[in-house]
Amino acid sequence: MPSVLITGASRGIGHAAAQAFAQAGWDLLLLSRSEAALQSLAAELTPTGRRVVYRACDLCDPEAIAPAVDQLLAQGLRPSVLINNAGAAYTGDLLAMTLERWQWLLQLNLTSTFQMCAAVVPAMRGAGGLVINVSSHAARNAFPGWGAYCTTKAALASFTRCLAEEERTNGIRACTLTLGAVDSPLWDSSTVESSFDRRAMLPLEQAAAALLHLAQQPATQVIEDLTLMPSTGAF
């Protein structure tokens, strides 16, 4: 059976993706900050008959990632797909941002993805695998007050393209899911201020379905980027 490793799995897009993949017959390896939330999700998915293993890990802590992945992989599943979904947003003027906040956002949105790939991709080589990095249309645009977020997502898109080129000969594919506004817990974060109409945003289930679509592509092809936007356009 195929297996997928999802970061940020306990809520939002990650939670919806775990549900979608389990229903489609995939085994699951899940990472999130909250062990209690992961335990609850695993119990929720038990009726699907799929195997679910999980490990709590705060991706903001660079020292915690490699040990957590090692412990997760030691439970016997080897992912054929890695979904780097965990991330955060920050609103505020670029030059008014503290260095601490800047480094926090870079760690969560970019560096942790590099670390996850470094920990997981070597185990995929030989058998082949796919890395899906969840990006944003902010990677291609400049939005006032969202500069730091735009920067991290632009760097993530570049990282993904470079990873795909370097790992091609190892049978590893890499792609991005580029999303417009999704009605997710991101908007409830203390680091985000917005007054957008969330009813016009993409539902979580559509983002999860797009991830599953990317993962189900045959090994002989890759959708390098799938862009999914609300029909109302950019916010």
Buried b (16+ CB within 10 A) or exposed e, 137-173: bbbeeeeeebbbbbbbbbbbbebbeebbeebeeeebb
Mean predicted lDDT score pLDDT of the chain? 94
| Half-sphere CA count of 188, side-chain side, radius 13 A | 5
Q: Give the CATH number of domain 3-228.
A: 3.40.50.720
Give the mean model confidence (pLDDT) for residues 66-90: 95
Report, as an integer, the average pLDDT of 198-217.
93
pTM, two decimals, is: 0.94
Residue bearing the bigger pLDDT, 88 or 233: 88
Locate 133 and state its tokens: 């990095």
Q: Which of 41, 117, 46, 83 is nearest to 208 (CA)?
A: 83
3-state secondary structure of 5: strand
CB atoms within 10 A of CB 205: 13
Residue-wise pLDDT tens digits, 117-166: 999 999 999 899 999 999 999 999 999 889 999 999 999 999 999 999 99
| Other Cβ atoms within 10 Å of 1 Cβ, number | 9
pLDDT score of 74:
96
Q: In which band, very low, low, confident or very high, does the pLDDT at 115 lie, cut at 50, 70 and 90?
A: very high
Strand-pair partners of 177: 134, 226
Residue type, 16: A
Hey, where are the domains in the chain? 3-228
Of residues 135 and 89, the one with the higher pLDDT is 135
pLDDT grade, residue 231 (50/70/90)? confident
